[in-house]
Structure 1
Amino acid sequence: MPKVKAEKKSRQHQEVKNQGIMFNTGMGQHILKNPLIVNGIIEKAALRPTDVVLEVGPGTGNMTVKLLEKSKKVVACELDSRLVAELQKRVQCTPMQTKLQILVGDVLKTDLPFFDVCVCFTVLRMSTLSIYLLVYFLFVLHLFRCAVLMFQREFAMRLVAPPGDKLYCRLSINTQLLARVDHLMKVGKNNFRPPPKVESSVVRIEPKNPPPPVNFQEWDGLVRIAFVRKNKTLNAAFKSTAVEQLLEKNYRIHCSVHNVEVPADFSITKKIESVLQEAGFCEKRARSMDIDDFMVLLHAFNSAGIHFS
């Protein structure tokens, strides 16, 4: 290792030792140290004095103490027992102590109490973890008012991407179907200790209440097919052998359940083409279709007895 790099690494190691905690970056332990960013995010969360706040990954409590000042109660979920001890010491013998509940463990495997607002400022990478957390909030914990979450910037921009944007994808339309999503701010990596390798962004997610009147399993089945090749026309996307076999199986099940006879010369290819043609979607491409377009298309397929799973 070159001498300059070795010296830099040695200085960084000594700084971390002086702080008393070795942060595990593999667990997303990058502590947000800029108080201006912390205050700005809390302001945009629009907390109420009656709110119960779920904080995922409180770290050493920089955000937690601010949340305690603005809300009725904070439920902090932390996986690292060392940071739990730091957080407990920080509020011990203060008026905030009775307002803080600490849950030790993985938020995805913990029985959570009711909460109004969720905040998570752990730097979540564009990975399965980010998607799991998002799905967990939107499907399992959909009764909360809003969630303010920090993600790797590209993942965050996918959540808010509109039709036609190069980042617009299945994740974009599924999230926007279930919630209003707003990009709040960019957060540079130098605002963290230690700095992560990626730039971050903060988004605000408000679940739609009531949720849209759509069978999500059917919806996601359609969207999945369309976005496999989002630049292809739908006519081409539905010509996949695997897609045709699945839809024909579903169609025959539908006909059997409803006592509809399937003609001997039945062709699923012609059936799909007929639906796309009549609905005016043959030449449409998923990259430019919005929620209303997919709603219309799903209704057209379902009305013709074709279902998705």
Structure 2
Amino acid sequence: MPKAQHKKRPSASSSSPYNKPGGANANPSSGQSNAIFKMNTDLGQHVLKNPGVAQAIVDKADLKQSDTVLEVGPGSGNLTVKILEKAKKCIAIELDPRMAAEVTKRVQGTTLGRRLDVILGDVIKTDPLPYFDVCISNTPYQISSPLVFKLLATMPSPRVCILMFQREFALRLFAKPGDKLYSRLSVNAQMWAKIDHIMKVGKNNFKPPPAVESSVVRLVPKNPRPNISYEEWDGLLRICFVRKNKILRANFLGTTSIMNALEANYRTWCAQNDVPLEDGPADDSTPMTDVENTTANDDEAEEEWDGFMDVDGDDDDLPEFFKQQQQQQAAIKASRGAGRKRRGKVAELVREKIRSVLEDKTQLADKRARMCDEGDFLKLLYHFNLEGIHFR
């Protein structure tokens, strides 16, 4: 009788969860050949593998022995270890439990381990952030913008932030008026911080390599902070940059949703400051406004349509084609008018205040947001606030 064949028991090394994909026959040239586990690129996990770049980033922070450092997305800890060698404490916020365990294990049982505090969670949803003096981050690119705004709004402000971003995003941070990448982010960041470009970092310095090049920037929050409300300032910029290539008059007066929001804010301000309001419908001479949101070009489109196919003379002399066009035009006007209501007195008052600020007091009505500098936006905010118009 032949012997029964017994399956070989897998060795301890082959059953390890940290083995290479594919076992002993895995291709050593594959991207996962040396990985502890597969990186989740959906979470922006691109580990900085070049120790020289990591050291340069930490050196640019000019850390003191008394500093507490916030690190966003420590990954496997290549930056974390270099931070702990110079700072008093490092608070690392990590979304992936595997990475949090990996960076903890890396310094466990060493003198550095006692100075590391790992927080498992989303830094954007962590409110408030723990106190820190310096922020150093190989930032997951998906949260670049919200992270910058969160750091700029942090009180007390950090001394310096050394942040790695996608190259295009970094260029947006220090873009100037008229530049293609100039945006609300540019104005906000430069209002609250001094921004410098430190170095370019090629994609091959990461594992796995990202699809884009990267840059490291230094944000130094202004001290003292500008004496304006962050929420108020950001609210104004949101309106101005909703369409940065449109003139400011169109962004404000040509958008019903914005006018409704500013009217509601004005009513609140009046109630808080005991300012009497004459409410109710306006007189019959007041023009009508759409109930639904309109685009910035609605009024311009209506003016153009009103002049379309106008022909002098008696209707009986018109060709049949022109008569049909005029009938269609009248039907469209009627359908538009059915969804309209007359503006109230408060709405008219707010509209006149906004028009006065844009046209008379700042002369910025015909200027585009992408061409306005910090001084222009400060002038707008100052005069709007004088009129009781607020943006939060």
Matched, 1:202 2:284: no
Matched, 1:48 2:131: no
Query: Matched residue of 1:213: which SS?
Result: coil
Q: 1:95 to 1:300 in 2, by over 3 A?
A: same
Partner of 1:137: 151
Partner of 1:30: 46
Q: 1:294 to 1:122 in 2, by over 3 A?
A: closer
User: Matches of 1:106 and 1:288 in 2, distance apart?
Assistant: 36
Deviation track 1:15-46 (CA, whole Å, cap 9, x = no partner) reads: 52433322111122111111221122112111
Matched, 1:186 2:269: no
1:171 to 174, 180, 185: 185
Q: 1:108 to 1:238 in 2, by over 3 A?
A: closer
- Structure in which a larger fraction of residues adopt helix: 1
Matched, 1:294 2:377: yes
Contact kept in structure 2, 1:123 and 1:200, CA below 8 Å: no
1:146 to 156, 160, 167: 160
Partner of 2:106: 90
User: Matches of 1:107 and 1:174 in 2, distance apart?
Assistant: 20
Amino acid at match of 1:118: C
User: Matches of 1:275 and 1:139 in 2, distance apart?
Assistant: 28
2:136 to 113, 119, 122: 119
2:263 to 243, 248, 259: 248
Q: 1:282 to 1:30 in 2, by over 3 A?
A: same
CA displacement at 1:112 relative to structure 2:
4.8
Judge which range, 290-299 or 211-220, deviates more: 211-220
The number of equivalent residue pairs is 297
1:274 to 356, 370, 373: 356
Judge which range, 244-253 or 27-36, deviates more: 244-253
Judge which range, 42-51 or 137-146, deviates more: 137-146
Query: Matched residue of 1:101: which SS?
Result: strand
Amino acid at match of 2:38: M
What CA RMSD, in Å, does the superposition of the two structures yield over aligned residues? 2.6
Amino acid at match of 2:99: L
User: Matches of 2:67 and 2:116 in 1, distance apart?
Assistant: 13
Query: Matched residue of 2:162: which SS?
Result: strand
1:72 to 88, 95, 103: 88
Larger Rg: 2
Amino acid at match of 2:173: L
Amino acid at match of 1:53: V
Amino acid at match of 2:157: L
Q: 1:52 to 1:217 in 2, by over 3 A?
A: closer
Contact kept in structure 1, 2:160 and 2:220, CA below 8 Å: yes
TM-score normalised over the length of structure 2: 0.68
Identity of aligned residues (%): 52
Contact kept in structure 2, 1:156 and 1:203, CA below 8 Å: yes
Contact kept in structure 1, 2:91 and 2:117, CA below 8 Å: yes
User: Matches of 2:205 and 2:93 in 1, distance apart?
Assistant: 22
Contact kept in structure 1, 2:50 and 2:206, CA below 8 Å: yes
Q: 1:223 to 1:18 in 2, by over 3 A?
A: closer
Judge which range, 240-249 or 115-124, deviates more: 240-249
Amino acid at match of 1:107: V
Query: Matched residue of 1:107: which SS?
Result: coil
Contact kept in structure 2, 1:32 and 1:191, CA below 8 Å: yes
User: Matches of 1:54 and 1:221 in 2, distance apart?
Assistant: 28
Runs (5+) with no aligned partner, structure 2: 1-25, 284-344
Contact kept in structure 2, 1:123 and 1:152, CA below 8 Å: no
CA displacement at 1:275 relative to structure 2:
1.8
TM-score normalised over the length of structure 1: 0.84
Partner of 1:19: 35
